[in-house]
Amino acid sequence: MKKCLIILACIIAPIVQAVASEQCRDEVFLRRAYLTVTGALPSPQESAKFLDDNRPDKREKLINRLLNRELALQYTLMHWGDILRIKSEFPSNLWPNGVQAYNRWIYEKLMNNVPYDQMVRELLLSTGSNFRDPAANFYRGFQERSPENFYANINLLFLGNRNCADNGYLCFSQIKFKSTKEWKEEIIYIDYRKELPWQQIKLADGTILQPDYNTDWREAYVNWLTSPENRRFAEVMVNRMWFWVFGRGIVHEPDDWREDNQPSDPALLKELTDYFIKSKYNMKALMKKILMSEQFNSKMAPEGTYQPQRLPAEVIVDAIASSTGRWNKYSSRVPEPFTFYPPQTRATHLGDATVSSTELELFGKVSRDVSLESQRSNALTSRQLLYLMNSSALEQRIRKSPALKKICEQYTTVEQVADAITLRVLSRRATPQEVELYNKHKADNSLSMNELAYDIMWIQINSNEFLYNH
Amino acid sequence: MRKIYLTLILLFAISFAAEAQRAKSVILIYLDGGPAQTDTFDPKPQAGRNYHGNYKGVAKTNVEGIEIGEKLPLLATMADKYTLIRSMTHGSNAHETGHYAMITGDTSKGAVVYPSFGAVISYMLRDKYKGILPRYISVTSANSRFNEGGFLGNEYKSFDTGGRPESKMYEVDGVVNRFVNRERMDSRMAMLAEFEKGQMDKQLIDSLRGVNMEFIWGESRELFNLANEPDSVRTRYGKSRLGQSCLVARKLVEAGVPFVNVRTTGWDTHKKHFQKMNSMLTNLDKALSALLADLDKRGLLDSTIVLCGGEFGRTPKVLWEAPWNGGRAHYGKTFSYLVAGGGFHGGKVVGKTDKTGENVVERPVRPCDLIGTVYLLMGIDPYGTLPHVSEGDLPILPSLIKNDQSGGLLYEIIDIKKPDYEKK
């Protein structure tokens, strides 16, 4: 019996391996890696270079390059901004100065690849002015400033716990706010004179915290939270990053950890968590490990395991801008004084949920009201397609596209034009069947090369190949 | 036993409300920036020049004892059609908080962001409404200072038409596109279908595109075509953005759209207040009077609630000093709303402010009272709940059950009787 099983295993194992190692094509990997790590499409030059590269380790080289790019830092910052609710106006009301300082603070942590535990420590133990001590914005961005509310948010963010029932919030009961003469400036400070709580502080796992009088009681909590023995702390971040990459957590929703919501692949979660703790909470290394995984290199389902995801709002809007070469100008007239962004600013780099546009709203830009990952909706709706199919706004972008103009000036055959457009929009080359299709469309409708170019770009931007990361 | 009793009362109250429901649609004319109540619906001609500023006179209305601002002569001829709420108050002088209060009715300062009442109505009617037009439309764009879909999510946000209804061609986003005719669109769609062959699963995207083709080329296209309206009608509404937007709103309501938000900006008149108000009030007077008359003539006023107001009012006292040089600042302590149709009585005034208009002296009306009454008229239980993704069911209007945030629903100007359980 045992022998049979072994033989069976010997037969199955190679099959499983063969299926699992069935990797996606290079052009698919290129686009997927760029969109996942940087939220941006590769430039036509970058695409061509990667596709023509024959070295065996070119995927790893690409990942290394991408992880160190400014675009990748900014895109990771956007993920953080979403869950930390970075926003000038209602309900966080951080104000533009606070938003700017807070973003910069996180950006620098990411740039220096500060370990996750340390970053969380600094965030949760922050005090001072919201303009001068940026991390203090963590406590300022609440409509309801109560220890219970701070604590509920900390539980959600770092433990994935939506319903905390313990009294750990007492550790946050010394937090006080005072305003200064500066407009919208506030000082967050710790009231050391507050008497120790008469209740015992007992956390859900049974840990008893005993802060001393005349200390910052948050420290006792944060020490417990970030210690390597508290595996949940590492697990939640590992799972969150997995969610950022695949759009689905190993535990899903990524901020809803409870007894009856078990991980879909416990072994995978364990392996990644062990790695993360061992690496001393190295976030960049964790990201690289996920990107080099079989799952990320797999073909799209059902042939492989990779599930296609509709691109996030900011990424779609940026991809349309980079494809056409016509960028949005972002500004905000609220609150005063007005905010103006430099030309060619990417939507993924806005950093403030108060700044938006009709397109961003349409595709579901996160409003940053709550710290739940589920507030971002990447569902495809008929209104979004209405915009893509028939809006003057998009049509004008295509018709006035400097990129298309240049392509039509530079090339003379349908094949060349199609190739150049496809490289821009879909990061691959046009297939012979597609070229034939375009030729037919041109002849049937007696279109000029310019008009054909508009139609090619229109169908590509409307295609699900463009709208999804696949 | 007590529980059964309570349930019975509730059932009775709901069925009663449903029976009394007259309103099918809401038009919100939102004066974004905060209009001066003393220059519109609550004039104070006796308060002296430091208060009434350049508007010394008043317009006497066709209802005995009701006067409105002198720049609103057309509206003055039809005060029997609407009621003025002169005691609106929420106390906030900040735009973002004011908007949030007046558009959601929530002043509880809780941790969750409530949806706008347009989104709530859109949510409540999600199964009942069968039209191809969106349930909640903004002409031309919704307020963007907070997340209008709130915790209900993006699905319930308004459809913003964009475009300029006052121009020669009203290009509604995604519907009217001057570059592409039907033939070109069809040829593109055919090429797209061919291009996508053998790619990813297309079921969802194809069905959504099908709905859109119907929306773009079907009846709704005509609806947005103002060029078909007689010029006399367009002139009556006024050729301003606001005027033509109101005309669009009338057509949308006629087609069955449950909530139309006509948002007009420019009311934040810190400086050059009176110069700006001269033209803005004339535009408002034309637009709103034409809308009310038109709805009435077509028999739609009975089933259409019309609301007009902003996020707050403005200081009754004129700021003559530099740098304002005759401006008015934000004022959330007292302001006015006009309500009409859909079951709201006409020819009445609710509440009262003092001699200068700076304080409410009678019957304070809070944001949740106004919005709760609109819900009631639309057949929605103002004490009902809405689902929140992580918090469970939350009250639809949390402020309504808090004494310091509610002055009570506006039973005095609707036909629905106050249920016994509400009389404390």
Convert the pLDDT of each residue in B239-251 to its tens digit.
999 999 999 999 9
* Contacts with B, A 251-280, CB within 8 Å: 256
Domain boundary (B224, B259, B293) is at: B224
What is the distance between the alpha carbons of residues B133 and B148, in angstroms, rounded to a whole number?
19
A377 vs B4 pLDDT, higher one: A377
Given CB atoms, is A356 within the 8 Å cutoff of chain B? yes
- Nearest C-alpha of chain A: how many angstroms from B233? 28
- Residue B131: pLDDT above 90? no
Q: pLDDT band at B319, cuts 50/70/90?
A: very high
A204 lies within 8 A of chain B by CB: no
Question: What is the sign of the dihedral through the CA atoms of B356, B358, B362 and B364?
Answer: positive
Tokens of A150: 């701070």
- DSSP codes joined into one string, A380-403: --HHHHHHHHH-HHHHHHHHT-HH
Residue B232 lies in a domain: no
Rounded Cα gap, residues A243 and A461, in angstroms: 26
Lowest mean pLDDT of A266-280, B15-29, B117-131, name the range: B15-29
- Residue B147: predicted pLDDT: 81
> What is residue A298's predicted lDDT score, i.e. its pLDDT?
96
Q: Is A218 on the interface with B (CB under 8 A)?
A: no
Q: Pairing relation of β-strands B360-362 and B352-353?
A: antiparallel
| Residue B85 or residue B142, greater confidence | B85
**Cα–Cα–Cα angle for B242, B247, B250, nearest 5°?**
125
**Same domain, yes or no: B85 and B186:** no
- B205 & B264 share domain: no
Please indicate, yes or no, whether residues B310 and B185 belong to a single structural domain of this protein.
Answer: no
* Statement to judge: residues B140 and B182 lie in one domain: no
Q: How far apart are CA A163 and CA A161, in angstroms?
A: 6
| ipTM for the whole complex | 0.89
Whether A347 contacts A358, CB under 8 Å: no
Nearest to B308 by CA among B101, B35, B22, B72: B35
Structure tokens at A111: 């740039």
Taking Cα atoms as reference points, which of B134, B180, B232 lies closest to residue A396?
Answer: B180
**How far apart are alpha carbons A438 and B247 in whole angstroms?**
44
Hey, which residues does B264 pair with through a beta bridge?
A: B31
pLDDT average, residue stretch B193-218:
90
How many CB atoms neighbour CB A167 within 10 A? 18
Give B192 to chain A, closest Cα distance, Å.
Answer: 5
**Nearest-CA distance B169 → chain A (Å):** 12
Spell out which residues of chain A touch residue B181, defining contact as CB-CB under 8 Å.
Answer: none
Q: Which two tokens stand for residue B26?
A: 């809401």
Domain of residue B327, residue span: 2-171+238-423
Q: Tell me which chain B residues have a C-beta less than 8 angstroms from the C-beta of A372.
A: 389-390
Q: Kindly report the average pLDDT of chain B as a whole number.
A: 92
**Chain B residues inside the 8 Å CB shell of A90:** 96-97, 99-100, 113, 145-146
Task: Please check the confidence at residue B1 and state whether its pLDDT lies above 50.
Answer: no
Domain assignments of chain A as residue spans, ordered by start: 2-41+310-469, 114-225
pLDDT exceeds 60 at position B9: no
Q: DSSP of B394-409, one letter per residue?
A: EES-GGGG-GGG----
Which residues on chain A are in Cβ contact (under 8 Å) with B399? none
Spatial neighbors of A325 by CB under 8 A, at least 6 apart, are: A401, A402, A403, A404
pLDDT at residue B119 above 90? yes
d(CA B213, CA B211): 6
B-chain residues near A437 (CB < 8 A): 191, 194-195
- Identify whether residues B269 and B379 lie together within a single domain: yes
Give chain B's domain count: 2
Would you call B179 and A392 a contact, using CB atoms and an 8 Å cutoff? yes
- What is d(CA B163, CA B169) in angstroms, rounded to the nearest whole number? 8
pLDDT surpasses 50 at B90: yes
Do B98 and B188 fall within a single domain? no
Coil, strand or helix at A339: strand
Enumerate the residues of chain B whose CB falls inside 8 A of the CB of residue A390: 174-175, 177, 180, 185, 212, 216
Q: What is the dihedral of CA A211, A215, A218, A224, to 10 degrees?
A: -50
Q: What angle (nearest 5°) sits at the alpha carbon of residue B362, between those of residues B356 and B367?
A: 95
Residues B187 and B301 in one domain: no
Grade residue B202 by pLDDT with cuts at 50, 70 and 90.
confident
Asked if the Cβ–Cβ distance from A144 to B110 is below 8 Å, we say yes
B215, B259: one domain: no
A308: contact with B, CB 8 A cutoff: yes
The pLDDT value given to residue B200: 79
Task: Extract the tokens encoding A81.
Answer: 């901004």
Residues with Cβ < 8 Å from A275, sequence gap 6 or more? A285, A286, A289
Given B191, B224, B257, the domain boundary residue is B224
A162 touches chain B (CB under 8 A): yes
Task: Please tell me the predicted confidence (pLDDT) of residue A18.
Answer: 43
Handedness of CA B180, B185, B191, B195 (dihedral sign): positive
Q: What is the pLDDT of residues B329-374, one digit of tens each?
A: 999 999 999 999 999 999 999 999 999 999 999 999 999 999 999 9
A294 has a chain B CB within 8 A of its CB: no
A2 vs A6, A9, B289, CA distance in Å?
6, 11, 89
Instruction: Count CB-CB contacts under 10 A for residue A288.
Output: 17
Q: What is the band of B226 on the pLDDT scale with cuts at 50, 70, 90?
A: very high
Is B147–A367 a contact, with Cβ atoms under 8 angstroms apart? yes
Q: Count Cβ atoms below 10 Å from residue A62 Cβ, excluding itself.
A: 21
Do residues B242 and B120 share a domain? yes
- In this structure, is residue B300 part of a structural domain? yes
Q: B60 and B93 in one domain?
A: yes
Quote the pLDDT of residue B312: 98
Q: Is the dihedral of CA B182, B185, B191, B196 positive or negative?
A: negative
CA dist A355 and A361 (Å) reads: 10
List the pLDDT tens digit at each of the 470 positions of chain A. 455 555 554 454 444 444 445 899 999 999 999 999 999 999 999 999 999 999 999 999 999 999 999 999 999 999 999 999 999 988 888 999 999 999 999 999 999 999 999 999 999 999 999 999 999 999 999 988 999 999 999 999 999 999 889 999 999 999 999 999 988 999 999 999 888 888 899 999 999 999 998 999 999 999 999 999 999 999 999 999 999 999 999 999 999 999 999 999 999 999 999 999 999 999 999 999 999 999 999 999 889 999 999 999 999 999 999 999 999 999 988 887 788 999 999 999 999 999 988 899 889 999 998 999 998 989 999 899 999 999 999 999 999 999 999 999 999 999 999 999 999 999 999 999 999 999 999 999 999 999 999 999 999 999 999 999 99
User: Does B391 or A88 have the greater pLDDT score?
Assistant: A88
Q: Do A386 and B111 touch (CB under 8 A)?
A: no
Regarding whether B181 and B155 lie in a shared domain, the answer is: no
CATH number of the domain at B285, please: 3.40.720.10
Residue A323 corresponds to which tokens in the numbers above? 């494809």
Same domain, B94 and B191: no
Q: Look at residue B229 and tell me if it is in a domain.
A: no
Is residue A465 within 8 Å of B200, Cβ to Cβ?
yes
